[in-house]
Homo-oligomer: A and B are copies of this chain.
Amino acid sequence: MTVQTETTTTTTTETTDIYSAPFIKELIRSIQAQDAYGVYKSWSPELILKPYIVSKQDKRKISTEEEVNPMTIARIKLFYNAIATSIELETNQIMQVVISINHEGFGWALVFCGRLLVVSRTLRDAHRFGFTSLEKLEDEGEKMSQAGIELVKKYKEVCKL
């Protein structure tokens, strides 16, 4: 990651720095918005996003027998909050986020507006929520946001119900 940061300081316009990707910025903002005590204020973006990166090996170590960790649920919520705000910025429509996870780690992540389900994802093994790399995280968040934006544009009428 340090190598990447170094290159971005030399090339100014076409930055390859993942931390300047719109979705990553939105996710950091969504995490900082919940930071009532200013804990993250001095943290680097890398450190703030670190809990989102879980290798396949690490995932296997997380037991799915117990309750889903409340911190993991909070992370899922903030991830979908970032998707919701990304969609809001583009569409000017206010989104609602509902995360519903049962004791077995199954459930739904829903982002909606009026009667339109803008994002609808079934969750399973929520205990092990995470991405193998920051690039994967950015890619998935960005894709879901874009798909949501398209949907809002196509079904604006349903969104306004």
Q: How far is the CB of A102 from chain B (nearest CB, A)?
A: 11
Copies per assembly = 2
Q: How far is the CB of A130 from chain B (nearest CB, A)?
A: 22
User: Interface on chain A toward B: helix, strand, loop, or mixed SS?
Assistant: strand
Within residues 99 to 143 of chain A, which ones have a CB less than 8 A from any CB in chain B? 99-100, 107-108, 110, 112, 114-118, 120
Residue from the list B107, B116, B151 in contact with A117, Cβ < 8 A? B116
Q: How far is the CB of A2 from chain B (nearest CB, A)?
A: 41
Q: Compute how far the CA of A1 lies from the CA of B158 in the bound complex, rounded to whole angstroms.
A: 42
Residue from the list B96, B99, B108, B158 in contact with A116, Cβ < 8 A? B158
- Listed A/B pairs (15) with beta-carbon separation below 8 Å: A96-B108, A98-B100, A98-B107, A98-B108, A98-B110, A99-B100, A100-B100, A110-B110, A114-B117, A115-B120, A115-B151, A115-B155, A151-B161, A155-B158, A158-B158
